[in-house]
Amino acid sequence: MRRLRQFTARFVVARATGAPTLARAAATCVVLAALAARSAAADSPAATLPLYQLLLTNGQALTSYGEYARVGDRVVFTTPIGDVRGQPRLHMASVPAALVDWVATERSRDAVRAARYADTRGEADYTALGAELTRLLDGIVGAPDDGRRLALAEEARRLLAEWPGGHYGYRADDVREMLLLVDEVIAGLRAARGEQRFSVDLTASTVPAPAPPRVRLPTLQESVGQALFLSTVAATPADRVSLLESVHDLLVAKTRELISACPCEQGCPSCVGPAGETGSRAKEVALAVLERLMVT
């Protein structure tokens, strides 16, 4: 902010003293430095998984792996039902659209999209904005008259005002600060031209950045709860059976993982029971039985 104010001050001084070269260099350096400083201050966090949430009117949250789609009166999505060795098991599912709290769901979706944009293209686009802004500033400083300067400043203002809305609110606060500085420049130029009416459209019109997303893979218990709920609102009996089979297989797989991972040799109270009660082959037999219980 201080640097950008410095830019404005230098710009105004340069205009008054007729030193366009110095002003151009100062303006360019200061804006680029401000952009670079902000870039370093906001290094992107670790990339997030493309997980979204369907928030229902009953307060329940359903996890969607990737974006959901509205098809007729239902919402179709891929839901993770547990994981096997760290890999989520994915299942197609759908819920009636009428059960969805669309305001909350779309707010959550926008936040996830914004986070993914920030992690991917955000910084490159912001750098491109800086380059375009610098080009306009160079034009302002080198312009032959105030009329041309004003036109370029207004173009810069339009660019800044429209940017957050088309870029998921990325760096909206930074852009708003730059916008206010450009407003000051515009006000000065209009005053110099003797214009009296220049306060109407000088209000910053940027949108606030969405709240950070908090979507994560569901726990085993949450996965089972979501899948059982989805089975009660499934579109067809086949869909319902398929969901229940997935829950069944998940529980069997997790039980096998638990028994396999137990450090005992022949069974203990933490897995299949004490070897003295269940026999010396209890672990081996339990794992064989569980393998045959898998539906898919």
Q: How many CB atoms lie within 10 A of CB 128?
A: 11
Cβ atoms of residues 206 and 176 within 8 Å: yes
Q: Which residues are CB-neighbours of 293 under 8 A, at least 6 positions away?
A: 248, 252
Q: Are 114 and 207 in contact (CB under 8 A)?
A: no
Contacting range for Zn ion; rule: CB under 5 A; set: 17-25, 71-79, 262-270, 286-294: 262-270
Smallest gap from Cβ 217 to Zn ion, in A, equals 27
- For position 285 contacting Zn ion by CB under 5 A, the verdict is no
Task: Please name which of 77, 70, 74 lies closest in space to residue 99, comparing C-alpha atoms.
Answer: 74
Q: Does residue 262 belong to the site contacting Zn ion (CB under 5 A)?
A: yes
What is the C-alpha to C-alpha distance for residues 197 and 67, in angstroms, rounded to an integer? 47
Show the tokens assigned to 10: 């230098």
User: CB–CB of 119/168 below 8 Å?
Assistant: no
Least separation, in Å, of the C-beta of 253 and Zn ion?
18
Nearer to Zn ion, 86 or 269 (CB): 269
Contacts with Zn ion by CB under 5 A: the residue count is: 5
By CB under 5 A, residue 227 contacts Zn ion: no
The minimum distance between CB 231 and Zn ion, in angstroms, equals 32
Task: With contacts defined by CB under 5 A, name the span among 131-139, 192-200, 212-220, 264-272 that binds Zn ion.
Answer: 264-272
Which residue type, as a one-letter code, is found at position 139? G
Two tokens at 157? 């203002």
- Total Cβ atoms within 10 A of residue 34: 21
Using the rule CB under 5 A, is 271 a contact of Zn ion? yes
Task: Among 104, 151, 252, 264, indicate the residue that binds Zn ion (CB under 5 A).
Answer: 264
What 8-state DSSP symbol labels residue 98?
G
**In 10 A of CB 40, how many CB atoms?**
8
Site residues (CB under 5 A) for Zn ion, limited to 31-60: none
Closest CB to Zn ion among 51 and 268?
A: 268
- Strand duo 61-65 + 74-84: pairing: unpaired
| Residue 287 or 293 having the CB closest to Zn ion | 287
Sites for Zn ion among residues 149-208 (CB under 5 A): none
Of the two residues 104 and 264, which places its CB atom closer to Zn ion in the complex?
A: 264
Q: Which is nearer to Zn ion, 44 or 270 (CB)?
A: 270
Among 268, 285, 287, 293, binds Zn ion (CB under 5 A): 268
Residues that bind Zn ion (CB under 5 A): 262, 264, 268, 270-271
